Structure 1
């Protein structure tokens, strides 16, 4: 079967899309229509996946303008123009669209060429819009988001388009439950494909490398690696450090990842407000090899997400990456993460949005570190020998396409 994936982003840098495409490429022909960076080839085969980079933006501002244009009627002009050529040249039989913004564009092409359709919902996109921009101060950006990227508008759009796809992919059970409850989507139309990592990812942690935190060898390192958006709960962790620092001055919270100026300024203000300059360190983006080293060199890895409609129906990739590091894990009690932690006894959790609960759990881990390491070892074992890996959890994706082929 010839599968055409649509991605308004870069390939193969999108982890979820790459894993899905490479898995399907073992049994089918997979073609990915995506965006092109100046340094990338327009056509390339990557690990058996044919990558067609036909969508180009002149700048981030240009991409933002096109996004606004696309949001007016939910049809992306660049993908609409390229899809006929893409479908005909590669004899596409099914369109697999990644996330909500390209859904209608895919449906229009699928109807014209009588193709099967799959929509892959990486997250609760309407709910994510509520959180992504809440700390942004630029009045133009705030106006744009209010006019074109409002929650109610995108939720109504989601409710309409998901009904028109042959199958809908959700990342966790909780997202499936949401789609059934909010949109009355039939359960047998929804397939769960989680963001688990491949077993071979563990090899990254086996490579010899210097301790990333060698300059802080006398500190108890609590690290977060990832995006700095409002829903990540980093402000909760910073506030929690007030209590932690008083009881255990060795503790050091390190936040690593990309952040726009508004978000970074907000977090820096909190650090200054609570006089935590010696207890919280903010770093920028790091290359992949350093991210791995950070997880491995930390005493505790955290995912302190706030509780909202977005985070209550998703589990990030780093959850499974941390498990493969063999180091202790602390998450907020958002339903999917709490469920994984409790079912497998692979980490600790605290009450989301509660700095005092975060502090209490960190101190508990510090004072009973052997117990935390035991859970971490169990997480590593479950990832390598159990069912918390991509090899096991991607079987639903394979079965989905077996059914479509029939």
Structure 2
């Protein structure tokens, strides 16, 4: 496996490795290092090899490779490291997580004569558009590396890279039917070369009977758990809180997680303008192991994503985690979210960006606790029988068995 970021944490990799090793495969992960992290270790059922960080030599190599990548769409450093690792482990396949390093995987796979799988968690070019959106011209002037990357690798260039990479790999794994349709229609990917392995929950991690984090016993808690960002729709949730508190005075919006400081500051300023500062709690970054305790303390859980080409083809782990905790959910009307929630009858679907609709849904659930309990139970039943990692992991294993049988 290849990951352009540091590890840990990465929930999807942990789940995939567990399924593959249970089926008898061995996994080695090549990932980016960080100062102080071991360059090699055995953890989470796999061998982890990290590209060295920290030293001046390592930094020079990384920056040189990044400069080549800006011009040629390939990281020589990653190609060399992956080449060596494939030879060392006598690998049977290369599994690349997300678009940025797929071409490197294809180069090494072609050279070694082994299949390459692109695990595309998101519509990367459209996600990149969202990540860049909060940055201003001032940011580009203050950060030359960011400015060069923005200028030389616009979204249009990433779209071309996406089309070429999807055609070049042996198989594409993605997280929703909507994403698969995007690759079929926009990248000319044959449906026979794609498998949907969704971001469902490992029920061993979310049993539904975890002890709630203390301090919220007398409040109606509406929570969001995860990373903050412009596409997460949290501004809609903060705006809705003013109306919610008018009808449910003990309501609290619990924002569990963190994100870019400017965006979090914007949320705090928005809460102040709407007079709900004392009804919003920002927990800061929370370890994944603590997620269930915060969800257990919640009465309703949110996925209020904005509607974008990125979010319309992805689905977050948190939806299935909420459902596993038997919590009623409020989600926006993005196709993947709405499809799951309506299928499970696990909550309410509201129009993206509509603070009034979100407030009405939350107030209705507060006024009807028996209905909220029913929806939560439906969600738990759905993850136990349809939306769980045991089933998704079987699809991943079956994909590999078929792919390697063809070799």
TM-score in terms of structure 2 length: 0.91
Could you tell me how far apart the structure 2 residues matched to 1:49 and 1:72 are? 34
> What do residues 77-134 of structure 1 show as CA deviations (whole Å, max 9, x unaligned)?
3312212210111011211111100011111111211221111101110010111232
Match of 1:45 among 42, 45, 50: 42
Q: Match for residue 139 of structure 1?
A: 140
Cα distance change on mapping 1:180 and 1:232 into 2, 3 Å: same
> What do residues 273-319 of structure 1 show as CA deviations (whole Å, max 9, x unaligned)?
22221222223112234322111101111111001111111111111
Would the aligned equivalents of 1:74 and 1:102 in 2 still touch at CA under 8 Å?
A: no
Q: Match for residue 9 of structure 1?
A: 5
Q: Match for residue 95 of structure 2?
A: 96
**TM superposition shift of 1:75:** 1.3
Would the aligned equivalents of 2:35 and 2:54 in 1 still touch at CA under 8 Å?
A: no
- The reply to whether residue 337 of structure 1 matches residue 341 of structure 2 is no
**TM superposition shift of 1:58:** 5.9
**TM superposition shift of 1:221:** 0.8
Secondary structure at the counterpart of residue 25 of structure 1: helix
Could you tell me how far apart the structure 2 residues matched to 1:77 and 1:58 are? 19
Q: Match for residue 246 of structure 2?
A: 246
> What do residues 247-298 of structure 1 show as CA deviations (whole Å, max 9, x unaligned)?
2222111212122221112112211222221222223112234322111101
Q: Match for residue 284 of structure 1?
A: 284
Could you tell me how far apart the structure 2 residues matched to 1:306 and 1:184 are? 27
Q: Match for residue 157 of structure 1?
A: 161
Q: Match for residue 403 of structure 1?
A: 402
**TM superposition shift of 1:55:** 4.2
Cα distance change on mapping 1:65 and 1:58 into 2, 3 Å: farther
Cα distance change on mapping 1:94 and 1:337 into 2, 3 Å: same
Would the aligned equivalents of 2:68 and 2:75 in 1 still touch at CA under 8 Å?
A: yes
Q: Match for residue 206 of structure 1?
A: 209
Q: Match for residue 379 of structure 2?
A: 379
Cα distance change on mapping 1:257 and 1:47 into 2, 3 Å: closer
Could you tell me how far apart the structure 2 residues matched to 1:64 and 1:33 are? 18
Match of 2:193 among 189, 193, 201: 189
- The reply to whether residue 352 of structure 1 matches residue 352 of structure 2 is yes
Could you tell me how far apart the structure 1 residues matched to 2:294 and 2:65 are? 37
**TM superposition shift of 1:245:** 2.1
Secondary structure at the counterpart of residue 358 of structure 1: helix
Would the aligned equivalents of 1:244 and 1:359 in 2 still touch at CA under 8 Å?
A: yes
Could you tell me how far apart the structure 2 residues matched to 1:383 and 1:255 are? 24
> What do residues 59-82 of structure 1 show as CA deviations (whole Å, max 9, x unaligned)?
9x9978965653432212331221
Q: Match for residue 322 of structure 1?
A: 322
Q: Match for residue 234 of structure 2?
A: 234
> What do residues 353-406 of structure 1 show as CA deviations (whole Å, max 9, x unaligned)?
11111111111111122112111112112222x011000122221111111221
Would the aligned equivalents of 1:68 and 1:148 in 2 still touch at CA under 8 Å?
A: no
Q: Match for residue 25 of structure 1?
A: 21
Could you tell me how far apart the structure 2 residues matched to 1:139 and 1:275 are? 34
Secondary structure at the counterpart of residue 277 of structure 2: coil
**TM superposition shift of 1:47:** 4.2
Could you tell me how far apart the structure 1 residues matched to 2:63 and 2:280 are? 33
Cα distance change on mapping 1:47 and 1:284 into 2, 3 Å: closer
**TM superposition shift of 1:39:** 4.2
Over the residues paired in the alignment, what is the CA RMSD in angstroms? 2.2
Would the aligned equivalents of 2:70 and 2:149 in 1 still touch at CA under 8 Å?
A: no
Would the aligned equivalents of 1:299 and 1:327 in 2 still touch at CA under 8 Å?
A: yes
Would the aligned equivalents of 2:39 and 2:52 in 1 still touch at CA under 8 Å?
A: no
Would the aligned equivalents of 1:129 and 1:149 in 2 still touch at CA under 8 Å?
A: no
Could you tell me how far apart the structure 2 residues matched to 1:308 and 1:171 are? 16
Q: Which runs of 5+ in 2 are unaligned?
A: none
Cα distance change on mapping 1:113 and 1:257 into 2, 3 Å: same
Q: Which runs of 5+ in 1 are unaligned?
A: none
Would the aligned equivalents of 1:55 and 1:79 in 2 still touch at CA under 8 Å?
A: no
Would the aligned equivalents of 1:257 and 1:284 in 2 still touch at CA under 8 Å?
A: yes
